Amino acid sequence: MSIGFKKKCKTRKSVTPSVDSKEITSNFLQHFTGIKDPRVERTRWHLLTDIITISLLAVIAGAEGWEDIEEYGLSKKEWLETFLELPEGILSPDTFRRVFERINPKEFEQCFRNWVQSLVEKLGVEVVAIDGKTHRGSYDRESKLKALHTVSAWACE
Residue 20 has pLDDT above 80, yes or no: no
Ranges 48-52, 80-84, 142-146: which has the least confidence: 142-146
Residues found in the chain? 157
Residues 70 and 76: their CA atoms lie apart, in Å, by 10
**pLDDT for 116 beyond 80:** yes
C-alpha dist (Å) from residue 27 to 43, 56, 100: 27, 14, 21
At residue 93, the pLDDT reads 95
Mean pLDDT score across all residues of the chain: 81
Distance CA 120, CA 145 (A): 40
Confidence (pLDDT) at 8: 41
pLDDT tens-digit series, residues 80-95: 988 888 988 998 999 8
Whether the model pTM is above 0.75:
no
Q: Say which residue, 80 or 120, is predicted with more confidence.
A: 80
One-letter amino acid at 32 equals F
* pLDDT tens track for 55-70: 999 998 999 999 999 9
* Upper half-sphere CA count for residue 114 (Cβ side, 13 Å): 15
Looking at the chain, list the stretches that DSSP marks H as alpha helix, in order from N- to C-terminal side. 21-32, 48-60, 66-75, 77-80, 93-102, 105-123
> 130 exposed, middle or buried (CB, 10 Å; 0-12, 13-18, 19+)?
exposed
User: Would the pLDDT of 33 be above 90?
Assistant: no
Lowest-confidence region among 36-45, 69-78, 88-97, 145-154:
36-45
